[in-house]
Structures are given as C-alpha cells and as structure tokens.
Chain A
Amino acid sequence: MTTTGSIGRRLTFLLAGVAGLLSVLSWSMVSSFARQAAERTQDNILAASATIIAETLRNEGGAVRLELPYAAFSMLGAVSEDRVFYHVEAGGETLTGYENLTQGVASAPPGQVAFDTVIYRDATLRMARITRLVLAGSDPVPVTVSVAQTRNGIGEISTALSQTAAALSVAFFLVAVFLSAIAARTSLRPLTDLAEAVSRRGPSDMRPLNRAAPSELAPLLQSLNRLIARLGQSQRRSEDFITEAAHRVRTPLATVRAQADLALHSASDTEEKRRLRQMIRAVDESSRSAGQLLDHATVAYRAEDLVRDEIDLSQVAATVVAALQPTAEMRDIDIRLSRCAAPVRGDRVLLENALRNVLDNAIKYSPDETTVTLTLALEDGHARLEVCDEGPGLGEGPFEDLTLRFRRGANVEGVVGSGLGLTIANDVVTAHGGRLDLQSHPEKGGTCVAFVLPLA
C-alpha cells in the first residue's frame, strides 16, 4: 500500500500557511502604518515650527527682522534627539541659518507649506518650507523659512513598532499552527474511528457497519458496506463451491472404495486381493491428501486474522480424543488422556484441527494394541500438551524439517499420509504464539509431539 501523505498534516500545513501569510501581511501593514504615522507627525511639527518662525518676521525700518523663537525648536526636540537645521531667506538673501540647506530646492508657493526630502551633509533630512510676503519698505519681499530635521529618531520609533508587530505576528502564527493541528485532528477523528471499527472486526464478521458518521463520510461508509456485503457473498459462494466440489469428488471416491471393498470380499485369488487392497489404499491416500490440503488452506486463511477466544485446551483435547477413539479402537489402541484446566487464547476450530492431525498421526504410526498418551500440564506460563505414541519414532533428525510441507519421516513406509499433518499443526501453533516440540519417546522410542501454548 502506498500512502500519499497524511491528510491531517496536509490540512495543518495549509492552515498554517494561510496563518503565516496573514502574519507577514499584518506585520508589513502595521510597520508601514507606523512609519507613515511617525513621518506625518514629524511633518506636522516641522510645519508648525516653520509657521511659528514665519509668524515672527517683522518689518523694521524697511528691513525684514527676525527673532528666532526658542519654542519653535524645542517642539522638534520633544519628538526625538534628531539634529535640526533651519534657514531663513528674504528676497534671495540669507537672513540666518545654514547657507546651503535650500540649495537646489524649488521655492514653495506663498502661504503654503511644502515638504521635501533632501540630502545635506551626508544626512537625509525632512524639510518643511513656508514662504510669506513681508512688507519691507514699499515692496513686499518674499521670505522663505525652511526647517529641517534628520530622520534617525523616526527610524528608531518605526523600527521599534515594527519589531513589536513582528513579535505579535510570530505569536499569532504559532497559536494558529497549534489550533490548525487540533482542528485537523478533530476533523479527522471520525475517519480514524471508522478505520478502528473496521480493523477491530473478526475475520468472519461480515455484518454491515452501523455507526453515526459525518455526512462527508457517508459515501465512504456506504461503499464500505457494499464491499463487505459483496465480500460476504463471495465468501459464502466460495464456501458453497468448496462443499459442492468436495461432495462431487468424494462421493464417487466413496463408491469406488465401497465397490473395491465388496470385490475384496468375493475375491479368492491372492493377486486379485492384493490389487484391490492397493486400489483401496490409493483411494484413502487421495481422500486424505484432499482433506489435509483443504485443512491447510483453512488454517492459512484463519491464522491470518486469528480469533482470540478464551478456550480450555483440556476441552479441545477431550473433544479430539472422543472423535478419534473409534479409529484407535479399530486397532485396539488405547488413548490415555491426563489433563488439567489450561485456559489459552485462540481459535478453537484451528486448535482442534491441529491436535486432530497430530493424534491421527500418532494412531496411524502406532503398532496394534499399544497406547497413545496425551498429557496436558502447565509449566511457567505455558500449557504443554504432549502426544506420545509407541510407534517407530522419528528416525534420524533434524526433526524441524518434518514441519515442512509434504515432508514425511524417513521410516513411514506402508502408512498412508500426505506429510501435511505436522505442517498444519505447526502453522496453527505458531499463529497462536506457541511452538511445536518434536522428540523421540524417552523410554519406548516412539514419537512425542508437544504443543506449547502461552496461557491466557
């Protein structure tokens, strides 16, 4: 399965991205507003200062006289520590102030304040100019008052404001990211819940999902239910098919076997009898293999998604022993079972199947009139169910190979078998988190197969 990233993460990133964009935007807007406001304030003060100076211009004996008011400059000093320059000229002549301050700057129209940004002595200055007509003698003389100030203070103020704005923006951004993550998780919760509900199901649970879901999930829920229904249907169909197929194959086999059996009864020729026995053996072999192949498939299918009911292993043992008792009796083999309560977690059908295969093996390989012993005991957190026979044993090792598919022991000549029995048992036990122990019977030389399973 390939994943194309997480919806939650994508949603978080998207929301955080929007928040980031908004943060940057708000920061730049606040910064520029702050700068503009500071500049406007400076302009107003410069204008006020220039106006005050212009107000003090007087005509005194035909000449323009000026008395610089201190207030005009202290006003500027109140705003910042910036340096202040000024220049007053009357009819093109400098009355007072810095000579070259107004060089190259167009004169303002009379009665209006004009603003300029000039570079003077390597510093950027903001300058307000006002021109007034003063009667000197008979003619009105245009007098221009220029007041300028460096912009360092303004810069500082606006930088400080901009920094505060940046800090606020970052904080806003972080809160937004946190809220985005929560929002993403909350809105994805129904999806996670749905996934959990599906994965909690047992392998054969084909009921539709009946649960409240947000309207966005309704189509998913519907198609999921349709899929489950189809799956259940196809599973039923394949089960029916297997049953039907088994029936069709096994019924003629049963006919062949019964007919051969009948023929064996009326046959007198030894050679003929031998052939008929071979025929019966072949039928038994094919039916046994077919059964075990089916068992193996069932085990593989059920072990994939194991049912974990609490079951008593001693009951499993008793059931299987009861089922195989008549088979053992046919050859006067005794089955002895000593047991105690042994609760384990797992699939009863699988465990019965596994034990049945092992016990069936034990009976098959036992000589007539011997005993197969089943011992169920508890040992440090595990249940150990041992099946021992008095048969020929496992021969030379390694025994582990015997749990491989279609692998049979070295000394099994003359016994019908497919070599799947131990594989099935091993698969079942492994799926239950246990193990299968194979060893030779310590005293009588037969085989001991032990199921070791963790206790519930």
Chain B
Amino acid sequence: MRYLLVEDNAELAEAVVKRLELDGHAVDHAGSLSAAEDCLAAANYDLILLDVMLPDGDGREFLAKSRPKMDTPVIVLTARSQVSDRVGALDQGADDYITKPFDFSELEARCRAVLRRRGGSARNEIAIGAALFDPTAGTLRHAGETVELRNREIRLLEVFARHPGQILSKSHLMDRLFSYDADVTENAIEVYVGRLRKKLDGMGVRIETVRGLGYRIAAS
C-alpha cells in the first residue's frame, strides 16, 4: 500500500515511515500542507495519515477544503482524545482518527477497516501459492472459493507473505500479533499457525516448522 504521511515533526515522521515500511508499505512524507498538496498532485495514494496541527495551517481545515475533489481515505492523527474533537474531524471528511501516541497494530487495523469500508482495492492482493490473499478484506481466494480470515490470522499471513521463504522466529511473530499489554507466551503463536495451516490446506502453500528457529512459508 502507498501511504502519504503529513506530519511536521521530523522525528516522529521518520519513525512512522520506517515502521510502516517494515510492514511492506510505501510511504511518502510531507512536512506541511503545501508539501502534501504537491505529493497529492504527483502521485496516487491508498491512504493519507494527516496530522491536525501543521506549520501552515490546520489539517482539518485542509481536509474540509480538499474533500470535494479528493477521494483518498484519510485518517487524522489527533493529539486530543476528547470525543468532541474526534467527532469534529469526522464531520470534516476524515474516515477515521487515531490518537497520538498510537499502536501500529491499531493504526493498521483502522487502515484496514477504512479501506474495507471504501470497498478495498484489487492491487493490494498478494499471491500465495495458488491463492490470492487480500489483507484489506481479510480473505483468501482459491478456485472460486473465498475463505474468511480472522484478524490475527490476517496479520500472521501478511508477515509470512511479505517474507516468502524466510525463517521467522516465534518472538518476531509475537511482536507483530500481540499488543504490548497482553501477557502471552510464545506458545500462542503455535495456535495461530495451526489455524492458518488448516485454512491454507490445498492452496499449494504451507507453513513449515523449522525446529528451534521458527516458521517459514513455502510452496508445497
């Protein structure tokens, strides 16, 4: 997916860009509203992450102004957690909002929810073996059949899909699947891997256990 991040704090922007790139997304960064306008004129984005307080104006006003001619979904990054502020952002044409500081899994979940609401987009489908995986819709399509995946299964499969043939350790997978306040053991990964294996059955792809190291996805 291609993101446009509009955020004036360079350090935060850098971290967010890196973090989203780790998840396999392409991210452009604009430090101001005018830079954002230039980016929007030059490229198409799947999603815009828009900060509210920018050096050359208010992100919400920018949103209200550019909403009629811009179709890209927008998630507003707000510093206030008051409901009224959030509601205000939604009224002005944002698809959703997230309060700083944010959990990347929550951001991802919100992006996915927004894109799903908007009807998704075909170009985000990833081929896995003989199946087509749509992380946004959370579906696996194979031989005219559609298999629904649950959220953690989607995230797990997404990690595997972005690193084909690579061995992924349990602890790495755990970081991607569980939020930091959940007290889970690495054994929980085995449960989700087990479920994924069942759903991938007969799709020409399997998740192998590499004893003592972790898991790897490979064509069967």
Contact = CB atoms under 8 A, between A and B. Distances in A.
Q: Do chains A and B interact in one complex?
A: yes
Interface stretch (A33-41, A127-135, A187-195, A243-251): A243-251
Given A247-B79, A259-B15, A294-B80, A280 B180 contact: yes
B80 A264 contact: no
B175 to A, nearest CB: 6
B104 A261 contact: yes
B79 A258 contact: no
Interface in B198-215: none
A354 B127 CA distance: 44
Interface in A223-273: 242-244, 246-247, 249-259, 261-262, 264-265, 270, 273
A281 B180 contact: yes
Given A265-B22, A298-B82, A349-B84, A332 B150 contact: yes
A352 interface: yes
A326 B53 contact: no
* Of B18, B83, B103, B105, most A-chain CB atoms within 10 Å: B83
Interface string A263-296: 0110000100100010011011001001110110
Given A262-B15, A349-B87, A331 B100 contact: no
Contact of B181 (A250, A257, A264, A416): A416
Contact of A281 (B9, B52, B172, B181): B181
Interface string B2-44: 0000000101100110110010000000000000000000000
A148 B82 CA distance: 104
Contact of B53 (A243, A254, A262, A277): A243
A294 B53 contact: no
A305 interface: no
Nearest to B10: A255
Contacts of B101: 250, 253-258, 283-284, 287
Contacts of A352: 83, 87
A320 to B, nearest CB: 9
A343 to B, nearest CB: 20
B110 interface: yes
Interface residues of A, number: 51
Contact of A331 (B16, B53, B80, B182): B182
A254 B82 contact: no
B81 interface: yes
A112 B150 CA distance: 136
Contacts, number: 130
B147 interface: no
A323 interface: yes
Contacts of B152: 331-332, 368
A325 interface: yes
B135 to A, nearest CB: 13
Given A261-B19, A265-B175, A352-B87, A330 B109 contact: yes
Given A255-B12, A262-B22, A349-B83, A330 B179 contact: yes
A120 to B, nearest CB: 101
Interface in B89-134: 96, 99-106, 109-110, 112-113
A323 B102 contact: no
Contacts of A12: none
A298 B101 CA distance: 21
A292 B99 CA distance: 12
A183 to B, nearest CB: 49
B53 A295 contact: no
A326 B112 contact: yes
A233 to B, nearest CB: 19
B183 interface: yes
Contacts of A329: 109, 113, 151
Contact of A353 (B15, B53, B83): B83
A353 B87 CA distance: 11
21 contacts: A247-B79, A250-B79, A254-B77, A255-B11, A256-B101, A258-B12, A262-B22, A281-B181, A283-B101, A284-B103, A294-B80, A295-B82, A326-B96, A326-B110, A330-B106, A330-B151, A331-B151, A331-B179, A331-B182, A332-B150, A349-B84
Interface of A: 242-244, 246-247, 249-259, 261-262, 264-265, 270, 273, 277, 280-281, 283-284, 287, 290-292, 294-295, 298, 323, 325-327, 329-332, 349, 352-353, 356, 368-369, 414-416
